[in-house]
Structure 1
Amino acid sequence: MSPAPNTGEGGEGDRLPDLAPLMGMASGLWVSQTLSAAEEIGLFTFLSEEGGSSLAALTRGLGVPERPAEVLVTACVALGLLRWEDDRVVNTDLSEHYLVRGRDYYMGDYVRMLREFVYPGWMRIADAVRSDRPVRDESAPGKGIFAKENRPEFFWKGLRPLSSLTARALAEEVDLTSTASLLDVGGGGGAFAVELCRRNPGLSVTVYDLPHVCEHTREFLLSTDLRERVRVHPGDFFAEELPSGHDAILLSMILHDWDETTGRKLLDTCFQALPPDGLVVVSELLVDDDRSGPLDAALMSMNMLVGTPGRNYTTGEYRSWLTDAGFVGTEVVPFHGPGANGAVLARKP
């Protein structure tokens, strides 16, 4: 057998690119599922309640064998979720704030939502790329991606802390002090409404969403002190006009669910519902106009490909849509939040 031809690549003298970035991409699932396993067995909550634990006490307390307990703890320490204090393992500040059940911004329901609702579709991502169709399995095919049967209750619970923390970031950069009444279109569980009201004492918010979503919102509002300033209005923004009488409309992480035609239609509906000088706020993970990133917006766009007909859009695209709908004075306000990196604002003349 004759030797393979020398292609000039891979020889002893060649310098190859660092493989580490590619290895990190290929094994990214290992990270997310380590976090998922630790949260599912209650590791962080147990350590918080105990004030830390030895490995032996941890195995007894959680009812897991020694070998997987040691492997899991080691991985979580390496990820910065846990740390050793002598012979005891304790939560880091990150885990103590976000992964202990009962905390205000507990992200465990979000981790569960990804594990049970989002990731199965990601395992078929190549099919979505080939077909240009969502590949997430639906319990009730044909009823729509936001039908009650296709969005379990833990989906809305999982999104709530993400929305709350994003709303905090938006409120620090977007001035709503002169806004008396805001309509939160597709406001989900009400997290944005509550956070914005807390930071704007003169603001009241109406959460507009599908009837079954508003049921979850009402339950959540009962646990807050803002029931007088936040109310719900059940409806379908594709089938009826939006309620009027609001100074501003918020579309937070809504337009990325839909294709361009549908998104433009929704902005037209918002334009009709606002009074003169009314404000529209589009809060999203915005893609750079040159489509070079940022990474979180680009990957969220992939997530939309898996489960929706939408994607994440560029700042320029939103400017064009708003202008064509009749809005003026478009401006972009960047901020750093877990669910959005900026807001595009415009007014009805």
Structure 2
Amino acid sequence: TTPATDVYPRKILEYMEGFLISKTVFTSCELGVFDVLLAAERPLSAEEISQAVGASLDGTQRLLAACAGLQLLNTHWDNGQVFYSNTEQSRVFLTRSSPLSLCQSIQYSSRTIYLCWHYLTDAVREGRNQYEKAFGVSSKDLFQALYRSDEEMVKFMHLMNSIWNICGRDVVTAFDLMPFKVICDLGGCSGALAKQCTLAYPECTVTIFDLPKVVRVSGEHFVTEADQRISFHEGDFFKDSLPVADLYILARILHDWTDERCIELLCRIYKACKPGSAVLLVEALLNEDGSGPLTAQLYSLNMLVQTEGRERTGAQYAALLAASGFTNIQHRLTGKIYDAVLGHK
């Protein structure tokens, strides 16, 4: 007979509740609970927090209790009344003003990815993304759908930024990129990864090559301090000629596309490269045997729901690079979400 504990499906029940946890975190960020606690500089009661965020007392009490249960808030009891304060992690990652804030990423997860995932069953059945059902926009041109409005584009760019604030340094230092003085970040968005490059390698300059509207929005919303070593170049990397560089970076680009499109893009880079140049891929690598990591496996499902692409193993990326002419291909794991693959010409 099996012991009684084995009969209780603890893990399965946890998984069933996974989306409840996500939405609790999303809502707390959207309401600004963590920001209010940061500004107060002292523990607050549910009443004070509910007034500050403009929410019902009953709803706020329940939300705060759940956040405390998730260890995102500390509780302090005084005269039978409970007061709340941010944990260190919440202060660093869940407040909007923090340089390492994940709030933008969370907002994108809540308002875009969450809606797409509502149609995961359809995506798996049909083998394609679900933009039409989720948002009523055609996904014929992937980035027309992703960037369907300026507001949506700014959200997407903030999402990209927040990840590089946390993982960027690790991926640009996984290999020694010191020899490459002129770097081109293809699809580099608003420049968060480029900034990590210039911090790690004081000698280098980085050109961000992206769609004209991305460059325009970057200028309006993101590029605050004039970094002399980062510049922008408008274009479509599938159609327009690429700037000459010693190193081309493709960070979270190839996972959006089919193998055919990846090879098409890598061949264009290979042609633009002079001998001695290289290409750096930054992606969440799957284990060779497909056993994990779980994050990359889940991201691959997200690629199904949101794009034409998939997450791949180091060997699969190496094969795409080799098919495009690159040699001496290596990959390095960072121990965080994103890893690095380097190929040479």
Does residue 344 (structure 1) correspond to residue 345 (structure 2)? The answer is: no
Cα contact 2:131–2:138 (8 A) shared by 1: no
Q: Distance in 2 between matches of 1:84 and 1:13?
A: 36
Q: Cα distance 1:221–1:69, how it changes in 2: closer, same or farther (>3 A)?
A: closer
**Cα distance in 1 for residues equivalent to 2:57 and 2:266:** 56
**Which range moved further: 97-106 or 34-43?**
97-106
Structure 1 pair 56–330 and aligned structure 2 pair: CA distance change class (3 A): same
Q: Is the 8 A contact 1:120 1:136 kept in 2?
A: no
Match of 2:278 in 1: 279
Aligned AA for 1:178?
Answer: P
User: Following the alignment from structure 1 to structure 2, what is the Cα–Cα distance between the partners of residues 283 and 311?
Assistant: 14
Deviations 1:241-297 (A, max 9, x none): 3122x1101110000000111111111111111111101111100111111111011
Q: Residue 21 of structure 1: SS of its match in structure 2?
A: helix
Q: Distance in 2 between matches of 1:13 and 1:237?
A: 59
Q: Name which of 118, 121, 124 aligns with 1:123.
A: 118
Superposition pairs of residues 113-152 of structure 1, within 5 angstroms = 113-137=108-132, 138=135, 140-141=137-138, 144-147=141-144, 148-149=147-148, 151-152=152-153
Aligned to 1:8: none
1:17 to partner: Cα distance: 5.6
Give the Cα–Cα distance (whole angstroms) in 1 for the partners of residues 157 and 116 of structure 2.
Answer: 18
Do 2:131 and 2:139's aligned partners in 1 also have CA atoms closer than 8 Å? no
Q: Percent identity?
A: 28
Which region of structure 1 is more displaced relative to structure 2, 21-30 or 35-44? 21-30
Q: Name the residue aligned to 2:106.
A: 111
TM-score by length of 2: 0.91
Q: Partners of 1:328 and 1:76 in 2: how far apart?
A: 50
SS across alignment from 1:173:
coil
Name the CA distance, whole Å, in 2 between partners of 1:243 and 1:193: 15
SS at match of 2:155: helix
Question: 2: CA distance between counterparts of 1:34 and 1:47?
Answer: 17
1:91 and 2:86 matched: yes
User: Is 1:180–1:203's contact at 8 Å kept on the other side of the alignment?
Assistant: yes
How far the C-alpha of 1:163 sits from its partner, in A, is 2.5
What one-letter code is carried by the residue in structure 1 that aligns with 2:11? P
- Distance in 1, matches of 2:210 and 2:230, equals 13
1:192 aligns with 2:189: no
Establish whether residue 41 from structure 1 lines up as the match of residue 34 from structure 2: no
- The CA deviation at 1:117 is 1.3
Matched, 1:257 2:260: no
Q: Tell me the C-alpha RMSD between the 2 structures.
A: 1.9
Do residues 65 (structure 1) and 56 (structure 2) align? Answer: yes
Residues 1:237 and 2:234 aligned together: no
Q: How far apart are residue 172 of structure 1 and its match?
A: 3.6
CA distance in structure 1 between the partners assigned to 2:108 and 2:297 by the alignment: 20
| Counterparts in 2 of 1:236 and 1:64: CA distance versus 1, 3 Å | same
How much has 1:221 moved relative to structure 2?
A: 5.2
- In structure 2, how many angstroms separate the alpha carbons of the residues matched to 1:21 and 1:142? 36
| 1:111-147 deviation line (CA, Å, top 9, x unaligned) | 1111111111101101011111111235542661212
Residue of structure 2 in register with 1:216 after alignment? 217
> 1:152 aligns to what SS in structure 2?
helix
Q: Distance in 1 between matches of 2:136 and 2:208?
A: 26
**How much has 1:313 moved relative to structure 2?**
0.9
Shift in Å, 1:223: 1.3
AA at the equivalent of 2:207: T
Q: For structure 1, which runs of at least 5 residues remain unmatched after alignment?
A: 1-10
Question: In the aligned structure 2, how far is the partner of 1:129 from the partner of 1:346?
Answer: 33
Q: 2: CA distance between counterparts of 1:84 and 1:225?
A: 43
Count of residue pairs brought into register by the alignment: 334
Per mean C-alpha deviation after superposition, the further-off stretch among 164-173 and 259-268 is 164-173
Say if 2:33 is the partner of 1:32: no
2:179 maps to which residue?
178
- Determine which structure has more spread, i.e. the larger CA radius of gyration: 1
Q: Deviations over 1:123-182 (max 9, x none)?
A: 110101111111123554266121242653222122211123221221342212222111
**Contact persistence 1:217–1:232 (CA under 8 A):** no
Give distance in 1, aligned partners of 2:44 and 2:139: 50
Q: Comparing both structures, which one devotes a greater share of its residues to helix?
A: 2
How far the C-alpha of 1:14 sits from its partner, in A, is 8.3
Aligned residue type for 1:101: R
